Structure 1
Amino acid sequence: MTATPAPGTVRVLLADDHAAIRAGLRLLLDAADGVEVVGEAADGTAAVTNARALRPDVVLMDLRMPGTDGITATRAIVAEGLADVLVLTTFDLDEYVDGALRAGAAGFLLKTAEPTALVDAVRRVAAGDGVLAPEVTRRVLAQLSGGRAPARGPSPATTTTTDPAGRPDPRLAGLTPREVDVLGALGRGLSNQGIADELVITEATAKTHVSRVLAKLGVVSRMQAAIVARDAGLA
Protein backbone atom coordinates (compact mmCIF):
# COMPACT_ATOMS: atom_id res chain seq x y z
CA MET A 1 0.00 0.00 0.00
CA THR A 2 1.41 3.38 -1.04
CA ALA A 3 1.71 5.93 1.74
CA THR A 4 -0.18 9.18 1.34
CA PRO A 5 2.24 12.12 1.11
CA ALA A 6 2.14 14.64 3.92
CA PRO A 7 0.27 17.88 3.22
CA GLY A 8 2.55 20.36 1.51
CA THR A 9 4.97 17.70 0.29
CA VAL A 10 6.53 18.51 -3.09
CA ARG A 11 6.15 15.47 -5.36
CA VAL A 12 8.98 15.11 -7.88
CA LEU A 13 9.42 13.01 -11.03
CA LEU A 14 13.03 12.42 -12.15
CA ALA A 15 13.73 12.28 -15.90
CA ASP A 16 17.32 11.37 -16.82
CA ASP A 17 18.73 8.61 -19.01
CA HIS A 18 21.51 7.79 -16.51
CA ALA A 19 20.35 5.46 -13.74
CA ALA A 20 23.20 6.49 -11.45
CA ILE A 21 22.22 10.16 -11.70
CA ARG A 22 18.58 9.34 -10.97
CA ALA A 23 19.67 7.29 -7.94
CA GLY A 24 21.78 10.15 -6.61
CA LEU A 25 19.00 12.67 -7.11
CA ARG A 26 16.52 10.38 -5.38
CA LEU A 27 18.77 10.04 -2.34
CA LEU A 28 19.26 13.79 -2.18
CA LEU A 29 15.63 14.78 -2.60
CA ASP A 30 14.10 12.06 -0.44
CA ALA A 31 16.39 13.18 2.38
CA ALA A 32 15.09 16.75 2.15
CA ASP A 33 12.19 17.84 4.32
CA GLY A 34 8.92 18.17 2.43
CA VAL A 35 10.17 16.61 -0.82
CA GLU A 36 9.32 13.16 -2.17
CA VAL A 37 10.42 11.45 -5.40
CA VAL A 38 7.34 9.70 -6.78
CA GLY A 39 8.75 8.28 -10.00
CA GLU A 40 11.52 8.09 -12.58
CA ALA A 41 11.86 8.14 -16.36
CA ALA A 42 14.80 7.25 -18.59
CA ASP A 43 13.64 9.22 -21.65
CA GLY A 44 11.29 11.96 -22.71
CA THR A 45 8.46 9.66 -23.74
CA ALA A 46 8.47 7.96 -20.35
CA ALA A 47 8.64 11.35 -18.65
CA VAL A 48 5.41 12.46 -20.33
CA THR A 49 3.70 9.12 -19.68
CA ASN A 50 4.71 9.07 -16.01
CA ALA A 51 3.76 12.71 -15.54
CA ARG A 52 0.27 11.88 -16.80
CA ALA A 53 0.00 8.92 -14.45
CA LEU A 54 1.63 10.37 -11.34
CA ARG A 55 0.78 14.08 -11.59
CA PRO A 56 3.91 15.28 -9.76
CA ASP A 57 4.35 18.89 -8.71
CA VAL A 58 7.75 19.16 -10.40
CA VAL A 59 9.51 17.20 -13.14
CA LEU A 60 13.29 17.40 -12.83
CA MET A 61 14.18 17.11 -16.51
CA ASP A 62 17.42 16.33 -18.31
CA LEU A 63 17.58 17.69 -21.87
CA ARG A 64 19.70 15.19 -23.78
CA MET A 65 17.99 11.81 -23.65
CA PRO A 66 17.50 9.08 -26.27
CA GLY A 67 14.36 9.23 -28.38
CA THR A 68 12.15 12.09 -27.25
CA ASP A 69 14.45 14.78 -25.85
CA GLY A 70 13.86 16.85 -22.75
CA ILE A 71 12.75 20.00 -24.58
CA THR A 72 10.06 18.12 -26.49
CA ALA A 73 8.95 16.36 -23.30
CA THR A 74 8.88 19.68 -21.44
CA ARG A 75 6.68 21.22 -24.10
CA ALA A 76 4.21 18.32 -23.87
CA ILE A 77 4.11 18.29 -20.05
CA VAL A 78 3.59 22.03 -19.80
CA ALA A 79 1.02 22.13 -22.61
CA GLU A 80 -1.07 19.51 -20.81
CA GLY A 81 -0.68 21.22 -17.44
CA LEU A 82 0.74 18.05 -15.90
CA ALA A 83 3.49 19.63 -13.78
CA ASP A 84 6.05 22.40 -13.60
CA VAL A 85 9.37 21.50 -15.19
CA LEU A 86 12.78 22.28 -13.71
CA VAL A 87 15.53 21.53 -16.22
CA LEU A 88 18.70 19.99 -14.77
CA THR A 89 21.40 19.53 -17.37
CA THR A 90 25.13 19.46 -17.99
CA PHE A 91 24.84 21.91 -20.86
CA ASP A 92 24.37 25.69 -20.66
CA LEU A 93 24.54 26.31 -24.41
CA ASP A 94 22.27 29.11 -25.59
CA GLU A 95 20.15 26.84 -27.76
CA TYR A 96 19.39 24.56 -24.80
CA VAL A 97 18.55 27.42 -22.44
CA ASP A 98 16.40 29.20 -25.01
CA GLY A 99 14.70 25.99 -26.14
CA ALA A 100 13.87 24.91 -22.60
CA LEU A 101 12.46 28.28 -21.54
CA ARG A 102 10.41 28.70 -24.69
CA ALA A 103 9.05 25.17 -24.18
CA GLY A 104 7.69 26.39 -20.85
CA ALA A 105 10.28 25.24 -18.32
CA ALA A 106 9.91 27.07 -15.02
CA GLY A 107 13.61 26.84 -14.26
CA PHE A 108 17.03 25.89 -15.57
CA LEU A 109 19.87 24.54 -13.41
CA LEU A 110 23.19 22.91 -14.17
CA LYS A 111 24.14 19.55 -12.69
CA THR A 112 27.05 21.29 -10.99
CA ALA A 113 24.57 23.07 -8.69
CA GLU A 114 25.09 22.59 -4.97
CA PRO A 115 22.67 20.12 -3.35
CA THR A 116 21.09 22.84 -1.22
CA ALA A 117 20.57 25.00 -4.32
CA LEU A 118 18.88 22.11 -6.13
CA VAL A 119 16.51 21.37 -3.26
CA ASP A 120 15.70 25.07 -2.92
CA ALA A 121 15.03 25.31 -6.66
CA VAL A 122 12.62 22.37 -6.53
CA ARG A 123 10.71 24.01 -3.69
CA ARG A 124 10.65 27.40 -5.42
CA VAL A 125 9.37 25.98 -8.69
CA ALA A 126 6.67 24.05 -6.82
CA ALA A 127 5.69 27.32 -5.13
CA GLY A 128 5.27 29.02 -8.50
CA ASP A 129 8.59 30.85 -8.77
CA GLY A 130 11.04 30.70 -11.65
CA VAL A 131 14.67 29.65 -11.22
CA LEU A 132 17.72 30.27 -13.39
CA ALA A 133 21.25 29.03 -12.79
CA PRO A 134 23.54 31.95 -11.90
CA GLU A 135 25.81 30.90 -14.76
CA VAL A 136 23.14 31.64 -17.36
CA THR A 137 21.01 34.36 -15.74
CA ARG A 138 22.90 37.37 -17.08
CA ARG A 139 23.08 35.92 -20.60
CA VAL A 140 19.36 35.13 -20.67
CA LEU A 141 18.39 38.57 -19.39
CA ALA A 142 20.65 40.16 -21.99
CA GLN A 143 18.95 38.14 -24.72
CA LEU A 144 15.50 39.11 -23.45
CA SER A 145 16.47 42.76 -23.52
CA GLY A 146 17.74 42.63 -27.08
CA GLY A 147 21.39 42.17 -26.25
CA ARG A 148 21.58 44.99 -23.72
CA ALA A 149 22.94 44.51 -20.24
CA PRO A 150 20.25 43.63 -17.69
CA ALA A 151 18.62 46.80 -16.43
CA ARG A 152 16.91 47.70 -13.21
CA GLY A 153 13.15 48.07 -13.34
CA PRO A 154 11.80 51.50 -14.24
CA SER A 155 10.09 53.70 -11.73
CA PRO A 156 6.26 53.91 -11.98
CA ALA A 157 6.59 57.28 -13.69
CA THR A 158 8.57 55.77 -16.56
CA THR A 159 6.66 52.50 -16.97
CA THR A 160 5.30 52.11 -20.49
CA THR A 161 3.13 49.64 -22.36
CA THR A 162 4.15 50.73 -25.83
CA ASP A 163 6.44 49.06 -28.31
CA PRO A 164 9.68 50.71 -29.55
CA ALA A 165 7.66 52.58 -32.21
CA GLY A 166 5.40 54.10 -29.56
CA ARG A 167 2.36 51.95 -30.35
CA PRO A 168 0.40 50.29 -27.50
CA ASP A 169 1.38 46.64 -27.11
CA PRO A 170 -1.82 44.69 -27.90
CA ARG A 171 -0.75 41.80 -25.67
CA LEU A 172 -1.20 44.00 -22.62
CA ALA A 173 -4.66 45.28 -23.56
CA GLY A 174 -6.47 42.91 -21.21
CA LEU A 175 -4.28 43.55 -18.16
CA THR A 176 -5.34 45.72 -15.24
CA PRO A 177 -2.87 48.37 -14.03
CA ARG A 178 -1.90 46.14 -11.11
CA GLU A 179 -1.31 43.21 -13.48
CA VAL A 180 0.91 45.45 -15.63
CA ASP A 181 2.94 46.15 -12.47
CA VAL A 182 3.19 42.41 -11.82
CA LEU A 183 4.28 41.76 -15.39
CA GLY A 184 7.01 44.37 -15.04
CA ALA A 185 8.20 42.65 -11.88
CA LEU A 186 8.29 39.32 -13.70
CA GLY A 187 10.39 40.96 -16.38
CA ARG A 188 12.90 41.89 -13.70
CA GLY A 189 13.02 38.31 -12.44
CA LEU A 190 11.30 38.87 -9.09
CA SER A 191 9.95 35.92 -7.13
CA ASN A 192 6.40 35.86 -5.76
CA GLN A 193 7.74 37.13 -2.44
CA GLY A 194 9.72 39.84 -4.23
CA ILE A 195 6.60 40.95 -6.08
CA ALA A 196 4.65 40.96 -2.82
CA ASP A 197 7.28 43.10 -1.12
CA GLU A 198 7.47 45.57 -4.00
CA LEU A 199 3.70 45.98 -4.37
CA VAL A 200 2.95 45.71 -0.64
CA ILE A 201 0.62 42.74 -0.99
CA THR A 202 0.64 39.21 0.39
CA GLU A 203 2.60 36.46 -1.33
CA ALA A 204 -0.66 34.58 -1.97
CA THR A 205 -2.11 37.63 -3.72
CA ALA A 206 1.07 38.00 -5.77
CA LYS A 207 0.80 34.37 -6.84
CA THR A 208 -2.81 34.91 -7.90
CA HIS A 209 -1.85 37.98 -9.94
CA VAL A 210 0.97 36.05 -11.62
CA SER A 211 -1.41 33.23 -12.59
CA ARG A 212 -3.87 35.72 -14.08
CA VAL A 213 -1.14 37.52 -16.00
CA LEU A 214 0.11 34.25 -17.51
CA ALA A 215 -3.44 33.25 -18.47
CA LYS A 216 -4.26 36.61 -20.06
CA LEU A 217 -1.01 36.67 -22.03
CA GLY A 218 -1.48 33.08 -23.17
CA VAL A 219 1.96 32.02 -21.92
CA VAL A 220 2.84 29.04 -19.76
CA SER A 221 5.80 30.20 -17.71
CA ARG A 222 7.17 33.21 -15.86
CA MET A 223 10.13 33.29 -18.24
CA GLN A 224 7.85 33.60 -21.25
CA ALA A 225 6.00 36.41 -19.46
CA ALA A 226 9.37 38.10 -18.87
CA ILE A 227 9.96 38.10 -22.62
CA VAL A 228 6.64 39.90 -23.14
CA ALA A 229 7.49 42.38 -20.37
CA ARG A 230 10.81 43.27 -21.91
CA ASP A 231 9.35 43.50 -25.42
CA ALA A 232 6.78 45.94 -24.05
CA GLY A 233 9.40 48.05 -22.29
CA LEU A 234 8.23 47.16 -18.80
CA ALA A 235 11.59 45.90 -17.56
Structure 2
Amino acid sequence: ISVDAQKMLSSNENNKKNDKTLRPLFPKQAAECSYVSCYCEENVWKLCQDASSRVPEEMDRCFVVFISNTCRTVPLWKQRAGREDDRLVIWDYHVIFLYSWDAKTCLVYDLDSELPFPTFFHKYVTETFRTDQVLKSDFHRFFRVVPAKQFLQHFASDRRHMKRPDGSWIKPPPPYPAISTSSSSHNLDEYINMDIGTGPGQVFTLTEFVKRFYKIDK
Protein backbone atom coordinates (compact mmCIF):
# COMPACT_ATOMS: atom_id res chain seq x y z
CA ILE A 1 0.00 0.00 0.00
CA SER A 2 1.29 3.48 -0.76
CA VAL A 3 2.65 5.54 2.13
CA ASP A 4 0.05 8.30 1.67
CA ALA A 5 -2.83 5.83 1.43
CA GLN A 6 -1.54 3.93 4.47
CA LYS A 7 -1.42 7.12 6.52
CA MET A 8 -4.98 7.99 5.57
CA LEU A 9 -6.29 4.52 6.32
CA SER A 10 -4.41 4.27 9.62
CA SER A 11 -5.65 7.67 10.74
CA ASN A 12 -9.23 6.79 9.96
CA GLU A 13 -8.98 3.38 11.62
CA ASN A 14 -8.31 5.20 14.88
CA ASN A 15 -11.75 6.75 14.65
CA LYS A 16 -13.97 3.72 14.13
CA LYS A 17 -16.94 5.43 15.73
CA ASN A 18 -17.19 7.71 12.72
CA ASP A 19 -19.28 5.99 10.05
CA LYS A 20 -17.83 8.26 7.40
CA THR A 21 -14.25 7.01 7.69
CA LEU A 22 -12.29 5.60 4.78
CA ARG A 23 -11.87 1.93 5.61
CA PRO A 24 -9.15 -0.43 4.37
CA LEU A 25 -11.11 -2.78 2.14
CA PHE A 26 -8.30 -5.29 1.82
CA PRO A 27 -5.90 -5.52 4.77
CA LYS A 28 -3.93 -8.05 2.77
CA GLN A 29 -0.97 -7.18 0.60
CA ALA A 30 -1.52 -7.67 -3.12
CA ALA A 31 0.56 -10.86 -3.04
CA GLU A 32 -1.87 -12.36 -0.51
CA CYS A 33 -4.98 -11.79 -2.63
CA SER A 34 -6.51 -14.39 -4.92
CA TYR A 35 -4.63 -14.00 -8.20
CA VAL A 36 -4.20 -15.98 -11.40
CA SER A 37 -2.28 -14.50 -14.31
CA CYS A 38 -4.40 -13.49 -17.34
CA TYR A 39 -7.69 -13.86 -15.44
CA CYS A 40 -8.03 -10.24 -14.30
CA GLU A 41 -11.83 -10.31 -14.40
CA GLU A 42 -11.91 -13.21 -11.95
CA ASN A 43 -9.22 -11.67 -9.76
CA VAL A 44 -11.40 -8.58 -9.43
CA TRP A 45 -14.51 -10.71 -8.85
CA LYS A 46 -12.65 -12.26 -5.92
CA LEU A 47 -11.84 -8.78 -4.59
CA CYS A 48 -15.56 -7.94 -4.79
CA GLN A 49 -16.42 -11.14 -2.97
CA ASP A 50 -13.90 -10.38 -0.24
CA ALA A 51 -15.08 -6.79 0.23
CA SER A 52 -18.72 -7.87 0.25
CA SER A 53 -18.12 -10.33 3.07
CA ARG A 54 -15.87 -8.07 5.14
CA VAL A 55 -17.26 -4.56 4.65
CA PRO A 56 -20.68 -4.89 2.97
CA GLU A 57 -21.59 -1.37 4.04
CA GLU A 58 -18.88 -0.02 1.72
CA MET A 59 -19.99 -1.85 -1.42
CA ASP A 60 -22.04 1.06 -2.75
CA ARG A 61 -18.75 2.96 -3.07
CA CYS A 62 -17.03 0.17 -5.01
CA PHE A 63 -16.87 -0.23 -8.78
CA VAL A 64 -15.44 -2.65 -11.31
CA VAL A 65 -13.90 -1.14 -14.43
CA PHE A 66 -13.35 -3.00 -17.71
CA ILE A 67 -10.87 -1.31 -20.05
CA SER A 68 -10.91 -2.13 -23.74
CA ASN A 69 -11.88 -0.84 -27.20
CA THR A 70 -13.26 -2.06 -30.51
CA CYS A 71 -9.84 -3.23 -31.70
CA ARG A 72 -9.08 -4.96 -28.38
CA THR A 73 -5.77 -3.07 -28.19
CA VAL A 74 -5.37 -1.00 -25.01
CA PRO A 75 -1.91 0.18 -23.93
CA LEU A 76 -1.31 0.27 -20.18
CA TRP A 77 1.92 1.27 -18.51
CA LYS A 78 3.37 0.12 -15.18
CA GLN A 79 2.10 -3.41 -15.68
CA ARG A 80 4.03 -6.28 -14.14
CA ALA A 81 3.90 -8.19 -17.42
CA GLY A 82 5.70 -5.38 -19.25
CA ARG A 83 9.30 -6.03 -20.25
CA GLU A 84 10.69 -2.58 -20.92
CA ASP A 85 11.52 0.06 -18.31
CA ASP A 86 8.11 1.67 -18.60
CA ARG A 87 6.37 -1.70 -18.24
CA LEU A 88 4.08 -1.11 -21.20
CA VAL A 89 1.63 -3.86 -22.15
CA ILE A 90 -1.04 -3.82 -24.84
CA TRP A 91 -3.91 -5.86 -23.46
CA ASP A 92 -7.06 -6.93 -25.28
CA TYR A 93 -8.82 -5.87 -22.10
CA HIS A 94 -8.04 -5.27 -18.47
CA VAL A 95 -10.09 -5.04 -15.25
CA ILE A 96 -9.51 -2.98 -12.11
CA PHE A 97 -11.33 -2.31 -8.83
CA LEU A 98 -12.21 1.19 -7.61
CA TYR A 99 -13.12 2.38 -4.14
CA SER A 100 -14.69 5.81 -4.62
CA TRP A 101 -14.90 6.95 -1.03
CA ASP A 102 -16.11 10.50 -1.72
CA ALA A 103 -16.01 13.16 -4.44
CA LYS A 104 -12.32 13.79 -3.84
CA THR A 105 -10.92 10.42 -2.78
CA CYS A 106 -10.78 7.34 -4.98
CA LEU A 107 -8.44 4.36 -4.66
CA VAL A 108 -7.49 1.95 -7.45
CA TYR A 109 -6.74 -1.71 -6.81
CA ASP A 110 -4.90 -3.39 -9.70
CA LEU A 111 -3.28 -6.74 -9.01
CA ASP A 112 -1.36 -6.60 -12.31
CA SER A 113 0.19 -3.21 -11.65
CA GLU A 114 3.62 -2.35 -10.32
CA LEU A 115 2.08 0.61 -8.54
CA PRO A 116 1.16 0.36 -4.84
CA PHE A 117 -1.95 -1.58 -3.79
CA PRO A 118 -3.98 0.59 -3.62
CA THR A 119 -2.94 3.72 -5.52
CA PHE A 120 -4.76 7.03 -5.49
CA PHE A 121 -6.83 7.48 -8.64
CA HIS A 122 -5.01 10.47 -10.11
CA LYS A 123 -1.58 8.85 -9.73
CA TYR A 124 -2.84 5.58 -11.22
CA VAL A 125 -4.41 7.28 -14.23
CA THR A 126 -1.36 9.46 -14.84
CA GLU A 127 1.09 6.58 -14.77
CA THR A 128 -1.04 3.78 -16.23
CA PHE A 129 -3.14 5.45 -18.94
CA ARG A 130 -1.18 8.67 -19.55
CA THR A 131 -3.16 10.27 -22.40
CA ASP A 132 -5.02 9.31 -25.57
CA GLN A 133 -3.91 12.46 -27.38
CA VAL A 134 -0.64 10.99 -28.65
CA LEU A 135 -2.14 7.59 -29.54
CA LYS A 136 -3.74 6.41 -32.76
CA SER A 137 -7.48 5.98 -32.42
CA ASP A 138 -7.12 2.17 -32.48
CA PHE A 139 -5.39 2.45 -29.12
CA HIS A 140 -7.79 4.82 -27.36
CA ARG A 141 -9.03 3.37 -24.09
CA PHE A 142 -12.70 3.06 -23.12
CA PHE A 143 -14.00 2.23 -19.65
CA ARG A 144 -17.08 0.24 -18.69
CA VAL A 145 -17.86 1.12 -15.08
CA VAL A 146 -20.09 -1.33 -13.21
CA PRO A 147 -21.19 -1.14 -9.56
CA ALA A 148 -19.33 -3.86 -7.67
CA LYS A 149 -22.50 -5.31 -6.17
CA GLN A 150 -24.03 -5.66 -9.63
CA PHE A 151 -20.86 -7.27 -11.00
CA LEU A 152 -20.67 -9.74 -8.12
CA GLN A 153 -24.28 -10.75 -8.65
CA HIS A 154 -24.43 -11.01 -12.44
CA PHE A 155 -20.96 -11.71 -13.87
CA ALA A 156 -20.29 -15.18 -15.30
CA SER A 157 -17.43 -16.78 -17.18
CA ASP A 158 -16.91 -20.37 -18.32
CA ARG A 159 -13.36 -19.37 -19.38
CA ARG A 160 -13.92 -20.28 -23.03
CA HIS A 161 -11.80 -17.30 -24.11
CA MET A 162 -8.75 -18.97 -22.56
CA LYS A 163 -9.07 -22.21 -24.51
CA ARG A 164 -7.49 -23.16 -27.82
CA PRO A 165 -9.60 -24.80 -30.57
CA ASP A 166 -8.41 -28.22 -29.35
CA GLY A 167 -9.71 -27.48 -25.85
CA SER A 168 -6.32 -27.00 -24.19
CA TRP A 169 -5.70 -24.02 -21.95
CA ILE A 170 -3.83 -20.95 -23.20
CA LYS A 171 -3.10 -20.16 -19.55
CA PRO A 172 -3.91 -22.43 -16.59
CA PRO A 173 -7.29 -21.52 -15.05
CA PRO A 174 -7.95 -20.57 -11.42
CA PRO A 175 -8.23 -23.54 -9.03
CA TYR A 176 -11.83 -22.76 -8.04
CA PRO A 177 -14.94 -23.54 -10.17
CA ALA A 178 -15.89 -21.23 -13.03
CA ILE A 179 -18.10 -18.30 -11.99
CA SER A 180 -21.74 -18.68 -12.99
CA THR A 181 -25.19 -17.42 -12.03
CA SER A 182 -28.67 -18.87 -12.19
CA SER A 183 -29.23 -17.09 -15.50
CA SER A 184 -25.84 -17.29 -17.21
CA SER A 185 -22.70 -19.40 -17.50
CA HIS A 186 -20.83 -16.85 -19.62
CA ASN A 187 -21.41 -13.14 -20.23
CA LEU A 188 -17.83 -11.82 -20.21
CA ASP A 189 -18.16 -10.36 -23.71
CA GLU A 190 -20.95 -8.05 -22.52
CA TYR A 191 -18.47 -6.43 -20.16
CA ILE A 192 -15.56 -6.22 -22.62
CA ASN A 193 -17.79 -4.72 -25.32
CA MET A 194 -17.44 -0.93 -25.31
CA ASP A 195 -20.53 0.02 -27.32
CA ILE A 196 -22.07 2.98 -25.52
CA GLY A 197 -25.62 2.44 -24.31
CA THR A 198 -25.44 -1.36 -24.23
CA GLY A 199 -24.46 -3.88 -21.59
CA PRO A 200 -24.00 -3.49 -17.84
CA GLY A 201 -22.91 -0.25 -16.22
CA GLN A 202 -21.84 2.78 -18.22
CA VAL A 203 -19.10 3.33 -20.83
CA PHE A 204 -16.78 6.34 -20.62
CA THR A 205 -13.94 7.78 -22.66
CA LEU A 206 -10.69 8.39 -20.78
CA THR A 207 -11.54 12.06 -20.24
CA GLU A 208 -15.05 11.20 -19.02
CA PHE A 209 -13.71 8.48 -16.77
CA VAL A 210 -11.29 10.86 -15.07
CA LYS A 211 -14.02 13.47 -14.57
CA ARG A 212 -16.29 10.82 -13.07
CA PHE A 213 -13.87 9.79 -10.32
CA TYR A 214 -11.50 12.73 -9.87
CA LYS A 215 -12.97 16.06 -8.84
CA ILE A 216 -10.71 19.10 -8.96
CA ASP A 217 -11.39 21.96 -6.54
CA LYS A 218 -12.14 25.23 -8.29
Q: What is the TM-score with the length of structure 1 in the denominator?
A: 0.28
As a proportion of its length, which structure holds more helix? 1
Higher strand share: 2
| TM-score after normalising by structure 2 | 0.30
